[in-house]
Structure 1
């Protein structure tokens, strides 16, 4: 690998990654195909799509990986395979019924199996990309407090997410083509944002910059293709909406655009692994009026380094079927490996 500089400690990461690949084991609570909620417990039988596809991509990859063990005595972690996204769209459950469904599910597995009760769920994890995943645990307090939550809505300012115990899942729009290449000289715009005005941060951004000739801040429908705007901009703005997370960071990286993060209290994906300062710039929301000054203050050499590192890290923010080394699936697995229990419980 030629991208050691984008990691917090590349040598340790590579050594640990190899160990993880050799030894890490996950036990998945089994569910039959004739289970009334099999669609929520088993992997999807189609290619995931949309903003919340990361949840389905991860489960599909995990269930077909060498990390799975059918012997719970060999497991480092236990996977709770419910899909928040699929339960949300199930008329029998819906957004209002998810909390009770999860409470009853945990009660069921803790009665049927001994593994949850040994640690109070501390060696268990679930994955959710939709923001409703955070509130889904309101009636299952042990899940929220003890289990590892791999979620897209990873704000350490709000209750329900515990940094270092939990981890951030990258929100990635599904793509099958190789990332495009375009030179810096072809990027004529300084910065770009487009999206709904669904937060005070976005409202402030558009208020200051909607009529600017260098920072393009749009709301509503674009007249040009979204991809062309990302390819034509040096910096691409990731701006907090209802939640701190959107797919815009992964979009920026895919199109080779340096992400500018305007989302206070965002526990960034793979923050334990990647040195985000090497390929992105975080701007506190109070400094939105100074945005052009901040971006103009970045020298050509500094920008060249940032963009070079963007091209190095974007492979970590892509899903593949089947997964390939160092892609989003393996990076999430590494985050889980870091959180595996240090205390081996009795196998009785």
Structure 2
């Protein structure tokens, strides 16, 4: 009786083996197909248009107005782009270079894709600006200024002025990719008729008015509309306008306040966040890292030029403007923050020209900065000189400057499908 049982068991085992063979063949074939696709197509290439989050490194690796002219490094280009007066190199190795410590050297995630898309944007992108007459009671808030902007929040005025004089503006709303809400939160804040307490009601009333006068807001709930805000109160400013808060695109000016000296690193700013308080408490008596609450009497530009690393620490909000100043003066941005969306992160590889440190590593700040070798620092500094033109504002926009970079980011967020008017 034992033999038949053994034969039955052997037969069952053989049948299981036969069933497994086609399954294994199918799995193997699928793997070969998958390998072939991944090696011959761009299907598995990371999409550069996704919003990037910070990735903190074990060892250290905005949008702000710069009002002075300094020599700037340039990209190497071959063929011309007529409207910008620059040339474009479509060749080259797309693989990122790496330094000896593994830090990426290229400042772009993918230079070729960026240039290709940039040209498309420059040729086809259209924006409709809601019109307001020069005699409007709030013309100072809604229309471009007739002077050269200055101050911490000048980016708002630079952008509005540049956009209105650009080829991106269309008078035909049916061909517009996006719609611009031209109010200035910084100017509303200083208008005695509005002030901080009245901004929320002003914006709520503004959205009510354009949604009843024009059909464009209602067809998407404001999803194809955008506004620019460089002031730290921008988040609370739209609190009463639910649709603009949830749906509209907000173009913000990044960075926070810092000043630099000949020290290893320097910070001066208002004590308006727990992170800043921790930084001051940890390093206020240090001889290499000089941190202060409040502003200094020394010239700001000289301080930036004399510092190796400029500390960028989140304050009350994340969008007060200073990172561009550090880049403009050749100072390495040292960003102390968690989960921070950085300017132009879709395009630029921030690990190649900045130091990113988690707030939990504030006590290790000196160790992290002094561990950076001379060669690493030189590479970071060279990359800062290369990318700083992308953060530079000009009265008349120049190709690849801050205005065009913002336009490119907006172009990435346009809808590929136009919603028809009902």
Q: TM-score, normalised to structure 2's length?
A: 0.72
Following superposition, the deviation at residue 65 of structure 1 comes to 0.5
CA distance in 2, matches of 1:128, 1:192: 27
Q: 1:306 to 1:224 in 2, by over 3 A?
A: same
The structure with the largest alpha-carbon Rg is 2
Pairing 1:115–2:225 present: no
Q: Which ranges in structure 1 are unaligned for 5 or more consecutive residues?
A: 153-168, 174-186
Which residue of structure 2 lines up, in the alignment, with residue 160 of structure 1? none
Q: Which ranges in structure 2 are unaligned for 5 or more consecutive residues?
A: 1-74, 78-93, 95-105
2:313 to 220, 239, 242: 239
- The answer (yes or no) to whether the contact 1:25–1:74 under 8 Å persists in 2 is yes
Which residue of structure 1 lines up, in the alignment, with residue 163 of structure 2? 62
1:200 to 267, 274, 280: 274
Which residue of structure 2 lines up, in the alignment, with residue 25 of structure 1? 126
CA distance in 2, matches of 1:35, 1:284: 47
> Which runs of at least 4 in structure 1 moved beyond 4 Å after TM superposition?
169-173
1:56-135 to 2 correspondence within 5 Å?
A: 56-135=157-236
Q: 1:293 to 1:329 in 2, by over 3 A?
A: same
Number of residues paired by the alignment?
Answer: 319
CA distance in 2, matches of 1:247, 1:90: 21
Following superposition, the deviation at residue 237 of structure 1 comes to 0.7
1:129-278 to 2 correspondence within 5 Å?
A: 129-152=230-253, 189-278=263-352
Deviation string 1:130-154 (CA, Å, 9 cap, x unpaired) is 12221121121111111111123xx
- The answer (yes or no) to whether the contact 1:170–1:317 under 8 Å persists in 2 is no
Which residue of structure 1 lines up, in the alignment, with residue 54 of structure 2? none
Following superposition, the deviation at residue 347 of structure 1 comes to 4.8
Q: TM-score, normalised to structure 1's length?
A: 0.86
CA distance in 2, matches of 1:7, 1:191: 26
Which residue of structure 2 lines up, in the alignment, with residue 323 of structure 1? 397
CA distance in 2, matches of 1:340, 1:262: 31
Which residue of structure 1 lines up, in the alignment, with residue 419 of structure 2? 345
Pairing 1:303–2:360 present: no
Give the superposed CA RMSD: 2.1
- The answer (yes or no) to whether the contact 2:128–2:176 under 8 Å persists in 1 is yes
CA distance in 1, matches of 2:205, 2:328: 40
